[in-house]
Amino acid sequence: MATTAARRFGRRLVPSVSRRRFSSSAAGDALQRTQNHPSLNLCSAINQALHIALDTDPRSYVFGEDVSFGGVFRCTLGLADQFGKARVFNTPLCEQGIVGFGIGLAAMGNRAVAEIQFADYIFPAFDQIVNEAAKFRYRSGNQFNCGGLTIRAPYGAVGHGGHYHSQSPEAFFCHVPGIKVVIPRSPSQAKGLLLSCIRDPNPIVFFEPKWLYRLAVEEVPEHDYMLPLSEAEVIREGVDITLVGWGAQLSIMEEACLDAEKDGISCELIDLKTLLPWDKETVEASVRKTGRLLISHEAPVTGGFGAEISASIVERCFLRLEAPVARICGLDTPFPLVFEPFYLPTKNKILDAIKSTVNY
Amino acid sequence: MDLQVLDFPGGKVAFTSKMQFISETSEKRVPCYRVLDDYGQQIEYDCSAQVNEELAVKMYTDMVTLQIMDAIFYEAQRQGRISFYLTSMGEEAINIASAAALTNDDIVLPQYREQGVLLWRGFTVQEFANQCFGNKVDYGKGRQMPIHYGSNKHNYFTVSSPIGTQLPQAVGAAYSLKMDKKSACVAAYFGDGGTSEGDFHAGLNFAAVMEAPVIFFCRNNGWAISTHTREQFRSDGIVVRGQAYGIRSIRVDGNDALAVYSAVREAREMAIKDQRPILIEALTYRVGHHSTSDDSTKYRSMDEIEYWKMSRNPVNRFRKWVERNMWWDDKREVELRNDIRNQVLRAIQTAEKCEKPPLSDLFRDVYDTLPSNLHEQESQLRETIKSYPKDYPLDVPV
């Protein structure tokens, strides 16, 4: 587990972000077509969602390491001032304690929004998530549940995070019936999905793409709105190949789509949004149309969630597939520091895979 | 400015020029609070919470019920009628007396050897049997192994097997009581082995920092399956950990029902009034095997077991006291034992005859509603069952 000093490193992660775009307004995104909303970055959008959650439900709580002063990424800024130290508070530096506490709080009929400072540090809480939160309803025959629990954790590459400030551990949690796993791609998505997660009657792990906290800016409606869970979204329509991703990786994939278009390849891009339980139907419908599938994520390729998507789609669309399913993902190494640009599933890796899949 | 004092973020600490390491042990071990001696004789004690006849008889009755239920359910497992069982033999006083000192508004987060707490709250022998047989009226819908009881109406959280996970959860539940300004606390139970888990540390530290009204009740029964406490920790048991966390704590004779009762009563008062956690270490002995999957004579002597079973039996000790008070006699004893025995046997027969939960319960309650993948898997499974009905148990209604 990280020392406090290593965690403080997190505060410096954000301002130095560069060279990275994000997948913002997409065709068909109703939120984006409405004009004249203030522009917010992803961090502020999260902050706004937490603000609304606390404001609309007096039984809601926000807590975690360093949450009180605003959090190392500033996502919880101002919440303690407005809603008081009893509802927004620091916890001891102990992830299993944070999640265990959240389960108990949620089981008493509260909305518990727990922050794990980095997804890399969620593992001490793995037992509480897998053996406790996920099975709480089932094992009690629905007498008890901790559905009010939402665990927020910043995840993913950030340019210089090394082993312990960069990981994408979503696949571990996608193997756990009883929890939901949600990852937003942009500020307006983050706000609507986070509010849905907080109010959903099931425990949820919500991974936030920390590279986009400051970098991703778009118009975000000020009002209280929720986006549906377990519904994927086609954010770019195309006919030659389907690309599936989530979170920050979508922006890289979108760039690859634009480059492929120059070569006359029409790509359909899908944001899965909810990884568990996931929307197979939307991906299947798209692959039935294009006959080709590429999945991309930052996490190591072996045992990644891309493998699950690939297997499921092959089961459903075997005869329709024109080429093997491609996976462009992180390498099967620990997340490296100096070698990060080599490790990552970059645009050109994706572009190459698009071309070879289309020309298979 | 006081130069003899270091004022740092953690407060003011006096300087000393004498280099002295704090000893790993204190000179004397923390004494063990007791009220009844081995002969059931009440020692003078200072406690406002007196146990009157009605309460004493109910406590004794439930201790006997627990004993008989444990013995017969254990046998039922040996006969192959249920798959697993775990007794609370030797810990009847801890179970019943601690429960008696709580109110039904207090939330219980059990480990798994606290069935007596649930019994005290009114969970019937039939309800226990239903869970052990995993039949269709088991509240857990047949999903968990025997002894994983839970009852919402009794404020008793469902048992889960992992050790110590309930401890940080107890703090969250207690924090909710605190926020709701309830006159209630949380009681979280665990064993000596459980104190080695990270969740023990998480729970106690969070409770102290959050000022949560929770009673941490440790049943130090000497053995974690086959692991002796000497191989579990080197501290003077559990009670000394309290101070390190900033938690008030007491060590009590777990085989003395009156002592357990008074200690928990007092702990409850303090937890609620002062809004703070309290740690209780009850010294006792696991007279039974860890579970039906264990043979404890492989790692401990019969003499040791016999000593605790006979000489230090908490039920016998309490009976002596109740009899001294002329609240109990042999005639009532015989009647009670016969009555309970018949009740338990009937409950087993009824639970055994009851059909299993329907197949649909396999898929329900994973989430609040059924997601599409589970819909799909349910219909696939039903097709398979149609093709191969003999592959599946006949007593589960499809």
User: What count of other Cβ atoms lies within 10 Å of the Cβ of residue A185?
Assistant: 29
- Which pLDDT belongs to residue B44? 72
Buried b (16+ CB within 10 A) or exposed e, A210-245: bbbbbbbbbbbbeeeebbebbebbbbbebebbbbbb
- Which DSSP string do the residues of B92-128 spell out, in sequence order? HHHHHHHHHHS-TTSEEE--SS-HHHHHHTT--HHHH
Establish whether B290 is a catalytic residue: yes
Q: What is the mean pLDDT of chain A?
A: 92
- Which pLDDT belongs to residue B38? 87
**Interface check B362 vs A, CB under 8 A:** no
- Do residues B187 and B109 make contact, with C-beta atoms less than 8 angstroms apart? yes
- Do residues A248 and A159 make contact, with C-beta atoms less than 8 angstroms apart? no
- The alpha carbon torsion through A76, A78, A82, A87 (nearest 10 deg) reads 30
What are the helix (H) ranges across chain A? 4-13, 30-33, 42-56, 79-83, 95-107, 126-127, 136-139, 170-173, 187-199, 212-215, 249-262, 280-290, 305-317, 340-343, 347-358
Q: Is the pLDDT of residue A14 over 80?
A: no
Q: In what order do the strands lie in the sheet with B278-283?
A: B107-109, B186-191, B214-220, B278-283, B248-253
Which of A140, A175, A279, A280 should we substitute to test contact with B (largest number of B Cβ atoms within 10 Å)? A140
CATH 3.40.50.920 positions along chain A are: 233-358
- Which pLDDT belongs to residue B46? 61
**Among the options B26, B53, B75, B379, which is catalytic?**
B75
Average pLDDT estimate for A43-68: 98
Tens place of pLDDT per residue across chain B (398 aa) = 567 899 999 999 999 999 999 999 999 999 999 999 988 888 876 655 689 999 999 999 999 999 999 999 999 999 999 999 999 999 999 999 999 999 999 999 999 999 999 999 999 999 999 999 999 999 999 999 999 999 999 999 999 999 999 999 999 999 999 999 999 999 999 999 999 999 999 999 999 999 999 999 999 999 999 999 999 999 999 999 999 999 999 999 999 999 999 999 999 999 999 999 999 999 999 999 999 999 999 999 999 999 999 999 999 999 999 999 999 999 999 999 999 999 999 999 999 999 999 999 999 999 999 999 999 999 999 999 999 999 999 999 99
- Do residues B236 and B29 make contact, with C-beta atoms less than 8 angstroms apart? yes
Residue that is written with structure tokens 């605003």 in the block: A70
Omega within 30 of 0 (cis) for the link into A277: yes
- Which pLDDT belongs to residue A35? 66
Q: Tokens standing for A207?
A: 């991974």
**Cα–Cα distance between B178 and B271 in angstroms, integer?**
10
3-state secondary structure of A286: helix
**Cα–Cα distance between A105 and A67 in angstroms, integer?**
17
**Cα–Cα distance between B115 and B95 in angstroms, integer?**
7
A13 pLDDT tier (thresholds 50, 70, 90): very low
**Cα–Cα distance between B107 and B188 in angstroms, integer?**
8
The contacts of residue B93 (CB under 8 Å, 6+ apart) are B63, B254, B255, B256, B257, B260, B284, B314, B315, B317, B318
Q: Which of B231, B227, B251, B252 is nearest to B240 (CA)?
A: B251
**Cα–Cα distance between A209 and B363 in angstroms, integer?**
33
Longest dimension (CA), chain A: 60
**Cα–Cα distance between A313 and A291 in angstroms, integer?**
11
Chain B residue with minimum CA distance to A94: B202
* CA B211 to mean position of chain CA atoms: 23
Which of B145, B175, B361, B380 should we substitute to test contact with A (largest number of A Cβ atoms within 10 Å)? B175
**Interface check B204 vs A, CB under 8 A:** no
Using only the alpha carbons of chain A, give its radius of gyration.
Answer: 20
Using only the alpha carbons of chain B, give its radius of gyration.
Answer: 23
Average pLDDT estimate for A101-121: 98
Secondary element (H or E) of residue A208: strand A204-209
A residues 143..202 contacting B (CB < 8 A): 143-145, 147, 177-178, 180, 201-202
**Interface check A25 vs B, CB under 8 A:** no
The contacts of residue B37 (CB under 8 Å, 6+ apart) are B43
- Which pLDDT belongs to residue A36? 83
**Interface check A67 vs B, CB under 8 A:** no
A7-219 adopts what CATH topology? Rossmann fold (3.40.50)
Q: Which of A247, A244, A246, A257 is nearest to A216 (CA)?
A: A247
Which conformational region is residue B291 in: left (phi greater than 0), alpha (psi within -120 to 50 degrees), or beta? beta
What percent of chain A shows pLDDT beyond 90? 90
The contacts of residue A157 (CB under 8 Å, 6+ apart) are A166, A168, A211, A248, A298, A335, A340, A344
Buried b (16+ CB within 10 A) or exposed e, B175-208: bbbbbeebebbbbbbbbbbbbebbbbbbbbbbbb
**Cα–Cα distance between B213 and A39 in angstroms, integer?**
44
Helix, strand, coil percentages (3-state) for chain A, rounded to 5, are: 40, 20, 40
**Cα–Cα distance between A49 and A198 in angstroms, integer?**
9
Q: Which residue(s) pair with A204 in the sheet?
A: A150, A180
Summarize pLDDT for A126-173 with one digit per residue, the tens.
999 999 999 999 999 999 999 999 999 999 999 999 999 999 999 999
Of the partner residues A131, A132, A141, the one whose CB lies closest to the CB of residue B143 = A141
Of the partner residues A101, A138, A145, the one whose CB lies closest to the CB of residue B171 = A101
- Which pLDDT belongs to residue B47? 59
Helix, strand, coil percentages (3-state) for chain B, rounded to 5, are: 45, 10, 45
Q: Tokens standing for B159?
A: 């048992």
**Interface check B182 vs A, CB under 8 A:** no
Q: Is the pLDDT of residue A221 over 90?
A: yes
- The alpha carbon torsion through A55, A57, A63, A68 (nearest 10 deg) reads 20
Cα four-point dihedral sign A286, A288, A292, A297: positive
Summarize pLDDT for A65-105 with one digit per residue, the tens.
999 999 999 999 999 999 999 999 999 999 999 999 999 99
Q: In what order do the strands lie in the sheet with A111-115?
A: A88-90, A60-64, A111-115, A149-155, A204-209, A180-182, A274-276
Q: Is the pLDDT of residue A4 over 90?
A: no
Measured at the CA of A303, the angle between CA A300 and CA A305, to 5 degrees, comes to: 85
In CATH, which of 3.40.50.920, 2.60.40.420, 3.40.50.300, 3.40.50.2020 is domain A233-358?
3.40.50.920
Establish whether B375 is a catalytic residue: no
- Which pLDDT belongs to residue A21? 58
- Do residues B191 and B218 make contact, with C-beta atoms less than 8 angstroms apart? yes
**Cα–Cα distance between B1 and B15 in angstroms, integer?**
14
Q: Is the pLDDT of residue A8 over 80?
A: no
For this complex, say whether ipTM is above 0.95. Answer: yes
The one-letter amino acid at B77: Q
Establish whether B161 is a catalytic residue: yes
- Do residues A114 and A98 make contact, with C-beta atoms less than 8 angstroms apart? yes
Q: Tokens standing for B273?
A: 């009034």
**Interface check B373 vs A, CB under 8 A:** yes
CATH 3.40.50.970 positions along chain A are: 7-219
